[in-house]
Amino acid sequence: DAIRKTGYGNRHMGLYPIKVNPLRHVVAEIQDAGRAYGMGLECGSRAELAAAMPHLRGDRHLLVCNGVKDESMLALAMDAQRLGRQVIPVVQSPEEFAALCTIAARRGDDPTLGVRIRLSNGTLDRWDRYAVPDAKFGLSPADLLELLAQYPDALPRLGLLHFHVGSQVTDLTRLQHAAAEAAQVYASLIQRGAGLRYLDVGGGLGVEYGDAPGSPAGLGYSLADYAHAIVAAVNEVCRSRSVPHPVLVCESGRAVTAHHSVLIVPVLSVRERRGLTADTVTPPQAGDATALLIRQALHGPAPVNAGDASALLSRAHHAYGKVGASFAEGRVAMEEFAVAERAFVTVARRIVEYLGRTGLPVPAQIGPLVRSLADRVLCDFSVFQSLPDHWGSGQTFPVMPIDRLNERPTRHGILVDLTCDADGRIDRYISSDPDATALPLHAPRPGVRTELGFFLMGAYEDVLGAPHNLLGRVPEVHVRTDECAAQGFRIENIVPATTVADLLTQMGYLEAELRGAMGDIVASMTVTDELSAEAGYGLIDRYAKCLEQGTYYETGDVAGPKS
């Protein structure tokens, strides 16, 4: 649409960067859906190149090779060109440029190549802090001119110019400036005799994860805005310098894959900070501050507006602080301090629940209170395996219950995972509250299973996850919409979770050796009557079942007989 509206003189081509989600079924699905539109691929390593080459069908689909490339990768890309495929190695450094030209001369090839240019404009955000000008890859204009002077035969073989400003662009003005600068480089090279056909603008089309526009991660633009920013900038330069318009290539992997995956997480338990009960007895010799807290907790009025809530909280917080200080000095017994704490929790929870019922925004000064009162919700997952971007870069993902959606949440929770690591928690959520460090949740129902959904999980999370605490991949269900199916969808495939044996094998353990060692231990103890034969058989059986199970929490009685 942007091409039509601006009168741009060429077309657009999409590439899927395999690094975003390299799982075979994901890549194949994107290729199938995009084949009619000439969707190509981008790779950045030897393994990605090997995975991508067989997906190319004819010369309509482009494969761009980024990343650091040794001689074998460069030679393989040239081999693909001999087969009539559009595989373009993109030179990232002077050394790589020299290596490619040397290999081509030795083989007698005349390959098409690309170059990655390092610009002065970019988007410095939490995804790509080093996009430009301190880029990890790319040639400066001075580097490129020097190399072309050294290898003049490469100029007519130069088919693609590439730049990259970040994988999640939040500022379209910077993107437009970068596109204009790259277009100036393109025009200058064309006028020098380069055979450029493609201008690869890299990734950057953002995904709206729920952050408010204007925040560091908020987008505030549409797909049409993004397309127009690039097309208009390149169009203006090409027209002003009277050069042909290049094919515009985009590598918008995050935008292509983020929406396809949802993580469903069971809640295992909820630990709440408990308040007072109606039969609480005031401790003997309780001080005035403790007595005030108990009266507020059991007989105090409910707030009537946000200002009243802040005032009630201030009085309770002051009294609780006095009791805590006295306890630290040894002037208050532990029993009195414990009652004061529960009384304060009761008052504070009443205030928070009032704000939740009325839908009023949580005042900034009450935000930390919400976090301290929040339930600790133990969930059957690993942050490091399933949400590595949250742990590593603070990326937030939409998360919410998948049922009871017609009920207003009355509690707040902080989600924690199974790992034995303090970082195994979600400490920032997408929320309209000023303090987004706790998630609004419903009160748990005894005996009723609760599950939470994490959304927009399709980009990077599958490949960046790490088996910290030896917690492996979760099971997968591949679902496809189908209007002919009774429920509007069908299940295409079920991929089981990583088993304990599978994960231990990845870490260098041999299952046979583990089983044998446990067998030897049990045998030695049964010989000396330290363990009965029945108990020994049961232990071996449970150990074998452990190796066959998944790595996450499983319900049911697995304790076996006592010995």
- Does 473 share its domain with 524? no
Residues 57 and 114 grouped into a single domain: yes
* Same domain flag for 441 and 539: no
The residue to which tokens 């199938």 are assigned: 32
Q: Return d(Cα 339, Cα 280) in angstroms, integer.
A: 8
**Which tens digits make up the pLDDT trace of 225-258?**
999 999 999 999 999 999 999 999 999 999 999 9
Task: Answer yes or no: do 479 and 504 share one domain.
Answer: no
Task: Say whether both 457 and 403 belong to one domain.
Answer: yes
Domain that holds residue 407: 263-269+374-487
State the first-to-last Cα distance of the chain, in angstroms, to the nearest integer. 74
How sure is the predictor about 123, in pLDDT bands with cuts at 50, 70 and 90? very low
* Pairing outcome for strands 263-271 and 375-379: antiparallel
Domain boundary among 371, 398, 429: 371
User: What's 440's domain CATH number?
Assistant: 2.40.37.10
Q: Are residues 182 and 39 in the same domain?
A: yes
pLDDT digits (tens, 9 = 90+) for 357-405: 777 666 666 667 767 788 999 999 999 999 999 998 888 999 999 999 9
Is the N-terminal amide bond of 133 cis, ω within 30° of 0?
A: yes
Amino acid at 99: A
Assess whether pLDDT exceeds 80 at residue 502.
yes
Number of domains composing the chain:
4
Q: Note the pLDDT of residue 353.
A: 76
* Host H or E run for residue 55: none
CATH number where 57 lies: 3.20.20.10
Residues 470, 334 share a domain = no
pLDDT at 131 over 80: no
**Whether the predicted pLDDT of 315 surpasses 80:** yes
- Asked whether residue 297 falls in the same domain as residue 161, the answer is no
CATH number at residue 283: 1.20.58
User: Same structural domain for residues 344 and 384?
Assistant: no
Domain boundary among 307, 337, 371: 371
155-214 per-position pLDDT tens digit: 999 999 999 988 888 889 989 999 999 999 999 999 999 999 999 999 889 898 876 555
One domain, residues 92 and 176: yes
Which of 487, 518, 534 is the endpoint of a domain?
487
- Among 55-59, 260-264, 494-498, which is the least confidently predicted range? 55-59
- Residue 30 makes CB contacts below 8 A (sequence gap 6+) with 16, 39, 256, 257
Which among 476, 466, 554, 544 has a CA at the least distance from the CA of 506?
A: 466
Q: Are residues 110 and 251 in the same domain?
A: yes
Both 10 and 79 in a single domain? yes
Q: Report the candidate in 258, 222, 163, 198 with the shortest Cα–Cα distance to residue 2.
A: 222
